[in-house]
Amino acid sequence: MGRIARSSRKRPALPRRMMLAAAALLLGGGGLAAVNVYASASESGPPGGSGSGSGSGMAQMRMVSTIDCPDVGEALATVPETAKSRVGRQLAALDTQITDAYTTFADNQDRIQRDPSLADSMVLAPLKKQRTASIGQIADTTGEPALKDRGLAACTMRADDARPGPAPALAASGPARSDFVDIRSVRPDTSAPAPGRAASTGTFTSDCGRNENAKRNPDNVIVAPGVSNGAHHTHDYVGNQATDAFSSDADLARGATSCRDQGDRSTYYWPVVRVLNQGNDADARADGGGKDRNVGKIQTPAQATITYAGSPVSKVTAMPRFLRIITGDAKAFTNGNANANASWSCTGFENRRLKDKYPLCPQGSKVVRTLKFQSCWDGRDTDSANHRTHVAFADKRGACPAGFKAIPQLVQRIVYDVPAKAGAFAVDSFPEQLHKPVTDHGDFIDVFSDQLMGKVVNCINTGRACA
């Protein structure tokens, strides 16, 4: 990812530190974290202002704008096969609880800003009670009683550091103007490893369209199987047309595909991108859409390319059928960037990549999302408890971790023709993630025929470009 110049920040003065401490005490009684609730004029002023600040510290208040909860799914070590559906339902229930709590917060944001103690009584305390019950059920189902004692039930309120002044009316939806940056200000990235002697340099491209038939739903069959609206945001699908929350492997094996080669019935899906402030789409009152604070016009990609690439240090081996891979983190805004992986760029500037900002592209250039999936597999499992540990990324040299083997790396390149204006577009997200670009992610289920997967591996290992 390219580096962006940041303005230097002054060390907070003593009065501001005292004000932070006072705010923490005021809110801490109910378990609230008051970090970054206030910002002095020396650190950040209102958008478009000089930053000199003529008002009091309260006037410079950095308004809390979302709920931050520990990710229980990431904490799971094992889920017995017989318990997967029950655990999936409970994890989905935790997401719904956060969504409902966030709605309560957003609908009462002005009241909570005036009286921060209401955040605990109206939002956090009821949420903790619900989460405690759900986590208890997950712990009992998985045989991991320690989950109950890891502090996973307690959530906090937090500010959006990208939104330094009083929040506008749509603060509950996002994104902020400062989530956008001119791609020309980003440094080129030259970190790709050079192929070695044993490299597999070929590629295989599967033409699966760009979702011209508008197959979309707010489900996530990998993370929340059997749960409608398990994602609380809408996904575009290409490839397998039978994919929804209730799809079994057998359903996917029989499903039709949008891919030109019918041997590829794989499922490829990602959150939709919407253009904002130009009216809403047909799902304005539906789950995954307006009911989950995803508003605006859904954009069909101008182009969507599905490519499989090799390893710079070794040959690749075939993926197992029904392998599931998630790249990126739909909750990276609150979880942190450890699993964030999608990059944003512009056509003509694709060596300049952003992870936590949306690009503003010059005239004639289009927005590009690139999702590079994990290219190392543990050789055993098609999924794991947290949907991550059965696969891994190669290191900076391109080598897989010990015990993992290289597989074809899926790369999704998705292009959009959207307005080049800050705040003009955003990716769908869980409501509390505020449509941050860092939350972008992609999901994949391998449903290649054995014959076509063999062709993929052969093309990559022999250095050919196949389609």
Look over the chain and give the mean of its residue pLDDT values, rounded to a whole number: 86
Return the pLDDT at 33: 33
Beta bridge partners of 391: 377
DSSP-assigned letters across all residues of 113-157 = HH-THHIIIIIIHHHHHHHHHHHHHHHHHHT-GGGGGSS-S--EE
Return the pLDDT at 160: 79
Which of 296, 425, 290 is CA-nearest to residue 357? 425
The pLDDT of 89-98, averaged and rounded, is 97
Beta bridge partners of 61: 38
The pLDDT of 110-135, averaged and rounded, is 95
The pLDDT of 51-62, averaged and rounded, is 37
E strands in 234-349: 235-239, 267-271, 273-275, 297-298, 303-309, 324-328, 343-346
Whether cis (ω within 30° of 0) applies to the bond prior to 175 is yes
CB 30 within 8 A of CB 121: yes
**pTM of the predicted model, to two decimals?**
0.85
Percent of the chain whose predicted confidence (pLDDT) is above 70? 84
Return the pLDDT at 409: 98
pLDDT greater than 80 at residue 26: no
Q: pLDDT tens digits for 281-334?
A: 999 999 999 999 999 999 999 999 999 999 999 999 999 999 999 999 999 999
Return the pLDDT at 6: 37
Between CA 412 and CA 176, with CA 215 as vertex, the angle to 5 degrees is: 65
Q: pLDDT tens digits for 257-292?
A: 999 999 999 999 999 999 998 899 999 999 999 999
The pLDDT of 234-243, averaged and rounded, is 98
What ranges do the domains of the chain cover? 15-159, 178-466
**Measured between alpha carbons, how far is 264 from 453 in angstroms, rounded to an integer?**
9
Return the pLDDT at 20: 37
The pLDDT of 396-408, averaged and rounded, is 97
Question: Measured between alpha carbons, how far apart are the two ends of the chain, in Å?
Answer: 29
